[in-house]
Amino acid sequence: MDKENIDRLSNLIKEELNSKTKIQKPDFSLEAGRKLLTGYLKTKFGQILEYDNEATQPVFVEVRYDFLQKFSNRLISNPKKKIMIGITGESASGKSTICRSISDVITHFGMPVTILTTDNYFNDISELILKYGSFDALRDNGYDIDSPQSFQLDILKEDLEKISMGENIYSPEYLINGTGVSIPKAKFVPSNKVVVVEGMASMYDDIKDIFDIKVYVETDINIRRDRFLKRAYTERNQALDEAKKHWEYILGAGEKYVQPSRNEADIILNGDTNLAYFCQILEYIHAITNNFEC
């Protein structure tokens, strides 16, 4: 059935690209042109949602009722601002994978995209790890790793505001080697037309207000558990017993800090969707937003 969905959507893309009925490309420098575009996009996005709703494994779990109107108003009122997309969800929900898929499709079509992870904004806890002996011991002694207080939110907010207005920045880099070291201004982050920011901290406090599109990725807890444990002992060299203990921690932290973001989201995505089908939807969105009569 996945192949059937992909084939059907592939045919829709071909029909869109080969259609002889196209609208005149609007003059985006004029408000009237931007209004025409947003009206067109609202109609087309509605068609995407109708199509996806018939799929055996839909990508879209839920779309906020006023999302399209709010996003359209922003495009009309402030066209120079970069399109800021924030992606959050509980650990191992599929945030990074979906983020990479978005980046791959956008890059494939020659559109510059910026990807930034909020995990690089963790506080430097190297001295605490030295004091307690290990990351796991620090957690066991009550350090709340995933709380908003464990992130450099002031720097994150400042960086995102700069990027949204076209300014390149240098973000911190948090080392995932167990040392807890955060290196200030270590990673160059360009400000491109589309900026995708993934990580739980993307929706903390007033960080979420910077985004034009707020996405929450939702996945079955058993799938998440399997992904998390596999990643812990294959990528992070964590002992299985410690990985299971940390899984219990993040369940509580996710319920406390991440799940409330679901109520703020514009779009809720299925984190276990077929990625080929998800990429086809992105390609269809590209087709309808770039297929005008010149």
The secondary structure of 56-98 as a DSSP string is SS-SEEEE-TTHHHHHHHHHHH-TTS-EEEEEEESTTSSHHHH
* All structural domains of the chain: 1-15+26-59+274-289 (no CATH), 78-272 (3.40.50.300)
- Please report the pLDDT score of residue 50 as a whole number: 84
- Distance CA(244)–CA(228), nearest Å, equals 9
User: What was the pLDDT predicted at 89?
Assistant: 96
Strands ordered across the beta sheet of 60-63: 60-63, 267-270, 213-218, 83-89, 194-198, 113-117
Cα pseudo-dihedral 255, 259, 261, 263, rounded to 10: -130
Instruction: List average pLDDT for each run of 10 residues in the chain, which is 294 residues long.
Output: 68 72 68 78 82 86 89 83 93 90 84 91 97 92 95 98 97 92 97 93 95 95 93 77 91 96 95 86 75 56
Contact in structure between 78 and 162 (CB atoms under 8 Å) = no
State the pLDDT at residue 283: 82
Residue keyed to tokens 């907010």 = 157
Strands (E), the chain: 60-63, 83-89, 113-117, 169-174, 182-189, 194-198, 213-218, 267-270
Phi, psi of 60 (to 5 degrees): -90, 115
